[in-house]
Chain A
Amino acid sequence: MQRSFILSSLSLLLLLLGWHSLAVYQQSPTLPTPVVVIEVLIAEIQSGDLWHHLSATLYRLFISFSIAMSLGCGIGILLGRYQNWDYFFDNWLIIFLNIPALVTIILCYVWFGLTETAAILAVVINKLPNVIVTIREGTRALDKSLLDMAKCYQFGKFKTLQHVILPQLHPFMMAATRSGLALIWKIVLVVEMLGRSEGMGYQLHLFFQLFDVASILAYTLAFIAVMQSIELLLLKPLDRTVKRWQK
């Protein structure tokens, strides 16, 4: 525990040091030093701008993630459990998996207008197939002997889902959650860049036009910090609670 902390702090320090030396050596406005970036970050926090845009993005992230995960888990379990549904919808899944994110975003905006609903729909459509595929694989790998046990002792559908199926799907759900969060926020930024007037994506686009690299990096840092806290404060403890039965 101690050693891992020292090593990870060291590596982080090394990264910052490398960045700093490179910036000092280059002396270019397109590569500010870490200190400058932190100063910008503090200024943005104090002005309230950062929070305004960050919260808009986090809100979209939360809504689209919740919809994609709950729909994806439901459909994934269905396809994993019932062969015929899987045969029928497999093609759809492959098509949706392969549509570029940009295409769905553009189409959603064209068809439904530059609205919040269109933006969230675009993100959901991009994420949903991934969740379905992951959960479907998990469902296919369910332990048949435990399902037999549940059937023999007449658990019924709901009890089977709660006590037999979902605990087995937990690792797959965590995988979908982690890869999902990483994927979704990137898509949210594109969605915001193309058709929203607040949020991280919108701000980054603005900074790009001004060539304001320090602000771009400041926003990036803020976002990484938020995502790391979600991992540390939410996902890791959840993992530990759910896995307490393991050897």
Chain B
Amino acid sequence: MSHLSINITDKSYSQQPLKQVIKNLQLDLYNHEFVCLVGKSGCGKTTLLNILAGLDDDYTGHISLDNTHNPKIGYVFQNPNLLPWRTVTENIQLAAKPDAKTLAFLLANMGLSAEKDSYPEHLSLGMQRRVSIIRAFANQPDLLLMDEPFVSLDSPTARQVRQLLIDLWQQRPHKVLFVTHDLREAITLADRLIFLDSQPMAILADVKVSLAREQRQQDSQIDSFKQRLFIDYPQIKHLL
């Protein structure tokens, strides 16, 4: 059984006054779970993802993924973070090593086939975001971190990319931690919803999404799940 264990006793920023972002956070992901983190902005979600990605080791606690020290990570950052001086294809190939077929498939499904040799600054922000999503997928990660990845996509594109994300995840199961403000998006995607309170970060509710994947296509199902959520977990009302 594959297991990601997150146990952070303290993460503070050493500004004055000292700001504690995370205190005694314990979270476990089993097997190939798709988990959405829902919380207000500034509650430390990005800080948590950065710690998981190994970008921030200034914390007290312990993270382990299947006891490996060097898990493969795909990270869709809040900003696209593409190298402006490398083309779309180069940006993807520098980070990941997809074979030509996979790369062409991903580019086509993201509607970027025609832009594969363009430089990022010649693309719209939404396109740049999609490139950064391809980069993360192409890396075939053990753990996929996504920090509000769909914010500047128009809704048809966002729907398409969401579907692609689910398809890819089902084809090659891996853990996903997905940060979002959008509860509807979270319910559509996740196996589990983690609602977070801020300063310091604390888990308000850990909810299993009981809807089958097919049911989630229907808006009415999502709405009724949302209604039940508010009744069952009154403590998360202020978040939404």
Q: Check if B83 sits within 8 Å of A146, measured CB to CB.
A: yes
- For residue A163, CB closer than 8 A to chain B, the reply is yes
- For residue A236, CB closer than 8 A to chain B, the reply is no
| Residues of chain B lying within 8 A (CB to CB) of residue A152 | 53-55, 73, 75
Q: Check if B84 sits within 8 Å of A245, measured CB to CB.
A: yes
| Residues of chain A lying within 8 A (CB to CB) of residue B96 | 153
| Residues of chain A lying within 8 A (CB to CB) of residue B120 | 245
- In the complex, what's the smallest C-beta–C-beta distance from B133 to chain A, in angstroms? 13
Residue in A closest to B90 when the chains form the complex, CB atoms:
A163
Q: Check if B75 sits within 8 Å of A163, measured CB to CB.
A: no
| Residues of chain B lying within 8 A (CB to CB) of residue A247 | 121-122
Q: Check if A145 sits within 8 Å of B83, measured CB to CB.
A: no
Kindly identify, within residues 208 to 247 of chain A, every residue whose CB is under 8 Å from any CB belonging to chain B.
242, 244-247
Kindly identify, within residues 70 to 93 of chain B, every residue whose CB is under 8 Å from any CB belonging to chain A.
70, 73, 75, 77, 79, 81, 83-86
Q: Check if A155 sits within 8 Å of B55, measured CB to CB.
A: no
Interface flags for A145-161 (1: CB within 8 Å of B; 0: not) read 11011011111000100
Q: How far is the CA of A82 from the CA of B77 in the complex (A)?
A: 26
Interface flags for B42-80 (1: CB within 8 Å of A; 0: not) read 000000001001110000000000000010010101010
| Residues of chain A lying within 8 A (CB to CB) of residue B54 | 151-152
Q: Check if B83 sits within 8 Å of A151, measured CB to CB.
A: no
| Interface size of A in residues (CB-CB distance below 8 Å) | 18
Q: How far is the CA of A146 from the CA of B54 in the complex (A)?
A: 14
Q: Check if B77 sits within 8 Å of A145, measured CB to CB.
A: yes
- For residue B139, CB closer than 8 A to chain A, the reply is yes
- In the complex, what's the smallest C-beta–C-beta distance from A99 to chain B, in angstroms? 37
Q: How far is the CA of A243 from the CA of B70 in the complex (A)?
A: 36
**Which residue of the partner chain, among A148, A153, A245, A246, contacts B50 with CB atoms under 8 Å?**
A148
Q: Check if B55 sits within 8 Å of A167, measured CB to CB.
A: no
| Residues of chain A lying within 8 A (CB to CB) of residue B94 | 153, 155, 159, 163
Q: How far is the CA of A246 from the CA of B79 in the complex (A)?
A: 18
Q: How far is the CA of A148 from the CA of B86 in the complex (A)?
A: 17
User: Given A148-B55, A151-B55, A152-B73, is A245 in contact with B79 using a C-beta cutoff of 8 Å?
Assistant: no
- For residue B95, CB closer than 8 A to chain A, the reply is yes
Query: What are 21 A-to-B residue pairs whose CB atoms are below 8 Å?
Result: A146-B81, A148-B50, A148-B55, A148-B77, A148-B81, A149-B77, A151-B55, A153-B73, A153-B75, A153-B94, A153-B95, A153-B135, A153-B139, A167-B83, A167-B85, A242-B85, A245-B84, A245-B85, A246-B84, A246-B121, A247-B122
List chain A positions with a Cβ less than 8 A from chain B.
145-146, 148-149, 151-155, 159, 163-164, 167, 242, 244-247
List chain B positions with a Cβ less than 8 A from chain A.
50, 53-55, 70, 73, 75, 77, 79, 81, 83-86, 94-96, 119-122, 135, 139
